[in-house]
Chains A and B, each alone.
Chain A
Amino acid sequence: MAALRTRAAGWWSGSILGRHLLVALLGLVVVVAVSESVSDFRNLQLASMAYLGIAAGGLTVLTGLNGQISLGHGALMAIGAYTTALLLDDREASTPLPLVVLAAVVVTLVVGIAVGAAAARLHGPYLAGATLALAVAVPGIALYFKEQLGGEQGLRVVVPDIPTWALDLAYFVTGQDLTRSRYVAYLAWFTLIVTFVLLANLSRSRVGRRWRAVRDDEVAAELAGVRLGRSRVSAFVVSAAAAGAAGAMMAVTVRLAAPSGFTLTLSLTLLSAVVLGGLGSLAGALIGAALLTFLPQVVTDLGVDAGLSDIRAAELAPLVYGVVMVLVVLLAPAGIVGTVRGAVLRRRGRSAPPAATTTGAAADPTTSTSTSTSTDAGPDPGASPGTSTDPDSTATTTSKGSTT
C-alpha cells in the first residue's frame, strides 16, 4: 500500500513537468494563432508584452515566493540589453541569437550574484535599497563609458536575418510569409515560454519549497536545515537571470539599448505589474505585463482628450499603476489571480455544504474580496500577499515529502 502511494506520488510529481510542458505547448499554439492574425504593429506590441512578462515573471518569483523586493529589475534588463547590443552591433555579427541571449543571461547573472551576495543574504530592507541604487547607477555607467556604450544615444541593435529554416517552417505551418516583426514576436514569446517553464518547475521543486519556507518562517526554515542566506541569494539570482533574458528580448524588439529605456520608473512599474497580477503567480505576471503594454495608450488618449498636453498625459499611465498598486495592497492583497482563485475556491466551498460553513464570510460578495481572499486562497490566513496566492504550497510539501 505504501509502495503504491509512493509510486502514485512519484507519478504525480513527474507529471508536474508534463503539465507545465502541456501548458507551454498550448501557450505556443495560442501565440502562433494570435500572432498570425494581427498586424505588424500589434506583433511588436506583443513582443514588448513578452519581454515585460519575462522580467515580471522573474520578479514575481522573487517577491511572491521569497518575500524579497527588487527595485532594480529595470537596471538588470539594461545589463542584458547592453550585452545583446554589444554582441549584435553590425550585420556581420555572427553570434547566433540563442548564444546572445545566453550571454545576456550570464552577464546579468554575474551582476545578480554580486549584488545578491552582498544584499540578499541579509534580513531587512537591504536588497530593496541596493537594487534601488543599482537602478539609479546603471544609466550613469552607459553615460560614463560613452565610447563603448554609446552615451545618451545608446547602442543600435542589428537583428540578424531570419534563418531560412525558420522562414520555411513558418510558411509550412501558417501558409504566410514570416515578417520581421512577427519573427521578433515569436522569438520573445518563445523565450517567455521557456523561461516560464523553467521558473514554474523551479518553484515547484525543492528549491522553490525552500524559498517559500524562508519567506513564511525564517526560524522554522533554519531549524529544518535550510540555509537562509543561500536560499535568499539564489532566489534573487534566478530572478536576475530572467531579467537578463528580458533585456535581451527588449534589445531585439526595440533595436536599441539606451539609458532612457531603463529608468527607475521601469523597475517600479514592473513591481506594480507583479503586485497587480498577484504576487508569486506567473499568470499574474503575464496579466500585469499585458496591462503595462496596452494600458498606457488607452490612458494617454483619455488624458489628451481631457485637455492635457502629450507629455503630461504620458505620465497618467504610471499614475494609474501607482494608484492601483496602493489600492491592491490595501484592499485585495492577493492581486487579480489570487482574488479570482479565492472566489473560485469559495464558490466550490459553497456547493459542498460541509465546507461552506468554514467560509461563512464569503456569503457577502462585496466584502469578501478584501477580507477573506487571503484566508480562502492560502494555507496561512492573513499572511503576506505572497502567501495567499499560493493555495497549493501545503499540498506540494506533503506530496513531495514522500518522494524525497
Chain B
Amino acid sequence: MQQLLNTALGGLTLGMVYAAFALALVLIWRSTRVVNFAQAPMAMVTTFIALVIVDAGHSYWLAFAAALASGLVLGAVVERVVIRPVEGGPEINAVILTLGLFIVLHALAAVVFGNRYRSFPAPFGVRGIEVGGTTIALTGFGIFTILAVLATMGLLLLLFQRTDIGLRMRASAFNPEVARLLGVRVGRMLTLGWALASLVGSLAGLLIAGGSLVHPGYMDSVVVYGFVAAVLGGLDSPFGAVVGGLLLGLALSFVSGYVGSQLVALAALVILMLVLVLRPGGLFAQTAARRV
C-alpha cells in the first residue's frame, strides 16, 4: 500500500515535468509544425549554465533565473538563425535541422562541460516528508516541482487567453497568412513562441536535474517522454499535453517501481505504439478528420 502511494506520488511529480516538456513541444508544433527534438539538448545546455553559476558560488535562484533567461534567448536565436530559413519549405528539412542542432548542442556541451556525471543542487530537501510516522515519497523539491509547473501553466494560460499578444500568437499559429494580412507580425510571434517554449523546456530541465545528476545526455529520454505525452494529448492541444504528461508520468512510475527502471523507455515506446494504433488523434480526439 505504501509502495503504491509512493509510486503514485513519484509519478505525479515526474508527470508534471513531462507535462511541462510536452507543453514546450506542443507550443512549437502548433506554430511551426515542427517537433523540436532539439528541445532536450537546449534544456540541457541551460541547465549546465545554471550549474556553472552555482559552482561559481552564487545562489541557486540566480542560477535558476539565468537558466530560464538563457532558455528564452536560446529559443529565439534558434528560431531566427536555424529554423527561419527553411520555414514554409519541406517539413523534412526543418526536422533534419533540429536533429543537427541536437548533435551540435550535445557535442558542444560534452566538449565544454565534459562528459561525466555531475551533481546538481536542489533548493529544497530531497528527502521524503514525514506524515504520521511514515515517510512518503513527496519531497520538498517535488512540491516545488509541482507548484512551479502549475504556475508556469497558469501564466501561459493567462498570456494566451487574456492578453493581446497571446491572441496575436494564437492567430499566427492558426493561420499565418490571414494573421499577416490583419497586421500581425507573424515572424516575431513565431520567435516569441519558440522562446517561450524553450523557456518551459529549460524549466523542465532544471526540475529534472534538481538533486540529481546531469550529463550531456540526461534529457534525451525526457524528450521521448515529452513526445509520447504530447501524442497522448493529440499533439495539438496544450491541455491534452498536460493530461498526457501526468498519465505518462504515473504509468512510467509504476513500470519503474514494479518492473524495472531499465524498461521505462520501452514502456513509453509501447504506450506510443498503442496510442498510434488505437487512437492516432490522441486520447481526446473527437473525429478522425484529416485535411488532404
- The 0/1 profile, CB within 8 Å of B marked 1, for residues 263-285 of chain A is 11100110110010000000000
* Interface presence of A10 (CB below 8 A): no
A50 located at the interface, meaning its Cβ lies under 8 Å from any Cβ of chain B in the complex: no
- The smallest C-beta distance from B105 to any residue of chain A, in angstroms, reads 8
B148 at the interface (CB under 8 A from A): no
Known contacts A130-B272, A133-B224, A322-B103, A330 near B111 by CB under 8 Å = no
Cα(A315)–Cα(B111), bound, Å: 6
Q: Let me know if B137 is at the binding interface, CB within 8 A.
A: no
Contact status of A126 and B231, CB under 8 A, knowing A118-B273, A326-B97: yes
Determine whether B266 belongs to the interface, using a CB cutoff of 8 Å to chain A: yes
Do B268 and A384 touch (CB < 8 A)? no
Tell me the chain B residues, 249-292 only, with Cβ under 8 Å from chain A: 260, 262-266, 268-269, 272-274, 276-277, 280, 290, 292
Task: Please name the residue on chain A nearest to B90 by beta carbon.
Answer: A384
Complex interface: chain A residues within 8 A of B265 (CB): 133, 136-137, 140
A128 touches B93 (CB 8 A): no
Max chain B C-beta neighbours (<10 A), residue from A125, A264, A272, A308: A125
The answer to whether B183 has its CB under 8 Å from any CB of chain A is no
Name the contact of B114 in the complex, choosing from A143, A311, A326 (C-beta under 8 A): A311
| Contact residues in B for A136 (Cβ distance below 8 Å) | 220-221, 224, 265, 268
Judged by a CB distance under 8 angstroms, whether B168 is at the interface is no
> Closest Cβ of chain A: how far from B82's Cβ, in Å?
7
Whether A269 touches B103, Cβ cut-off 8 Å, given contacts A132-B223, A137-B269, A144-B263, is yes
Known: A128-B37, A219-B292. A329 touches B96 (CB 8 A): yes
Pick the contact of A134: B90, B103, B217, B269 (CB < 8 A): B269
Looking at the complex, which one of B221, B263, B276 makes contact with A141 (CB distance below 8 Å)? B263
**Max chain A C-beta neighbours (<10 A), residue from B92, B265, B274, B290:** B92
Residues on the B chain within 8 Å of A271, using CB = 96, 99
Query: For residue B102, which residues in chain A have a CB less than 8 angstroms away from its CB?
Result: 268, 322
Residue among B82, B85, B106 facing the most chain A CB atoms (10 A cut-off): B106
Q: Is the CB of B224 within 8 A of A132?
A: yes
Q: How far is the CA of A114 from the CA of B269 in the complex (A)?
A: 11
Residues of A within 8 A of B290 (CB): 123
Interface centre among B110, B231, B266, B276 (most CB of A within 10 A): B276
| Minimum Cβ distance to chain B for residue A60 (Å) | 13
Which chain B residues border A322 with CB–CB below 8 Å?
A: 100-107
Whether B224 pairs with A129 at a CB distance below 8 angstroms is: yes
Contact B217 A312 (CB under 8 A): no
Asked if A141 and B262 make an inter-chain contact with CB atoms under 8 angstroms apart, the answer reads yes
The answer to whether B95 touches A125 (Cβ under 8 A) is: yes
Number of A-B contacts (CB under 8 A): 164
> Given A311-B114, A315-B107, A315-B110, A384 and B92 touching (CB < 8 A)?
yes
Q: A132-B224, A264-B220 are contacts. A318–B106 as well, Cβ < 8 Å?
A: yes
A236 an interface residue at 8 Å Cβ cutoff? no
**Interface residues of B: mostly helix, strand, loop or mixed?**
helix
Q: B61-96: which have CB < 8 Å to A?
A: 82, 85-86, 89-90, 92-93, 95-96
B115 contacts A119, C-beta separation under 8 Å: no
Contact between chains at B35 and A325 (CB < 8 Å)? no
For residue B237, give the distance in angstroms from its CB to the closest CB of chain A. Answer: 15
Are B96 and A325 in contact (CB-based, < 8 A)?
Answer: yes
- 8 Å CB contact of B100 from A222, A264, A265, A326: A326
Most B CB within 10 A of own CB, among A132, A308, A317: A132
**Contact call A325/B100, Cβ cutoff below 8 A:** yes
B93→A319 contact, CB < 8 A? no
How far does the Cβ of A30 sit from chain B's closest Cβ, in whole Å?
31
The 19 listed contacts between A and B (C-beta, < 8 Å) are: A71-B37, A119-B272, A122-B276, A133-B268, A140-B264, A141-B262, A141-B266, A144-B263, A264-B217, A308-B111, A313-B111, A316-B107, A318-B107, A322-B100, A322-B104, A322-B105, A325-B103, A333-B93, A385-B92
Q: What residues of chain B have their CB less than 8 Å away from a CB belonging to chain A?
A: 29, 34-35, 37, 82, 85-86, 89-90, 92-93, 95-97, 99-108, 110-111, 114-115, 217, 220-221, 223-224, 227-228, 231, 235, 260, 262-266, 268-269, 272-274, 276-277, 280, 290, 292
Q: Can you add 18 more A-B contacts, CB < 8 Å, to A115-B269, A129-B231, A382-B89?
A: A69-B92, A118-B276, A125-B95, A129-B224, A129-B227, A129-B228, A136-B224, A136-B268, A268-B103, A303-B111, A316-B111, A318-B107, A322-B102, A326-B97, A329-B93, A329-B97, A329-B100, A330-B86
Interface residues of A (CB under 8 A from B): 63, 67, 69, 71, 114-115, 117-119, 122-126, 128-130, 132-134, 136-137, 140-141, 143-144, 218-219, 222, 263-265, 268-269, 271-272, 275, 303, 308, 311-313, 315-319, 321-323, 325-326, 329-330, 333, 382-386
Closest 5 CB pairs of A and B: A322-B103, A322-B104, A319-B107, A384-B90, A325-B100
